[in-house]
């Protein structure tokens, strides 16, 4: 009986973590600047948004561009933020257009886990 109760609590705790919107905004924010992106990657659920926060002044601003062309931001002034909502699972690599060596990654959903069982 005690074991069953513990199991149920564990399931409830896991469910809470997976609730949409449970992830804090901080966890889905990239800080960008001169030749830097931090953190290197974030994981979100399908349908969640990621925020990009530019911390450095740059003529024309800093722009986010996805390697596969899935999204692109306008030039962001210092202190300006831009958000993008991800509606498709996958791994999205992006870089700062003005500093192509500064790369980040957004992992949406659970890549590697098939959405439906494979035949
Ligand atoms: Cu710069």
| Rounded distance from Cα 21 to ligand 1 centre (Å) | 32
18 three-state secondary structure:
helix
pLDDT confidence of 47, banded at 50, 70, 90? Answer: very high
* Spans of all domains in the chain: 23-108
CATH topology of domain 23-108: Immunoglobulin-like (2.60.40)
Distances (CA, A) of 76 to 44, 56, 63, 70, 86: 23, 9, 6, 18, 20
User: What is the Cα–Cα distance from 16 to 44, expressed in whole angstroms?
Assistant: 15
Least confident of 32-46, 55-69, 103-117: 103-117
7 Cα–ligand 1 center, Å: 51
For residue 62, list its beta bridge partners: 76
Tell me if residue 7 falls in helix, strand or coil: helix
CA of 78 to the centre of ligand 1 (A): 10
- Is residue 20's pLDDT more than 50? no
The confidence score (pLDDT) of residue 100 equals 97
Round to whole Å and give the CA distance between 49 and 40.
16
CA of 68 to the centre of ligand 1 (A): 22
Which has more confidence, 20 or 89?
A: 89
Cα 118 to ligand 1 centre (Å): 45
Taking alpha carbons only, the member of 45, 91, 40, 96 closest to residue 72 is 96
Query: How many angstroms separate the alpha carbon of residue 82 from the centre of ligand 1?
Result: 16
Is residue 50 within 8 Å of 30, Cβ to Cβ?
yes
Q: Which residues surround ligand 1, an ion (CB under 5 A)?
A: 34, 58
pTM exceeds 0.75, yes or no? no
**Could you tell me the pLDDT band of residue 110, with boundaries at 50, 70 and 90?**
confident
């Amino acid at each position: 009986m005690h074991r069953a109760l513990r199991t149920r609590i564990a399931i409830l705790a896991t469910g809470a973590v997976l609730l949409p919107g449970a992830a804090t905004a901080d966890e889905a924010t990239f800080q960008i600047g001169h030749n830097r992106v931090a953190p290197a990657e974030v994981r979100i659920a399908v349908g969640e948004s990621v925020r990009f926060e530019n911390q450095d002044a740059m003529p024309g601003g800093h722009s986010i561009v996805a390697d596969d062309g899935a999204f692109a931001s306008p030039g962001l002034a210092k202190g300006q933020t831009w958000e993008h909502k991800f509606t498709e699972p996958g791994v999205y690599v992006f870089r700062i257009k003005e500093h192509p060596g500064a790369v980040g990654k957004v992992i949406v959903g659970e890549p590697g886990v098939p959405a439906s069982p494979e035949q």
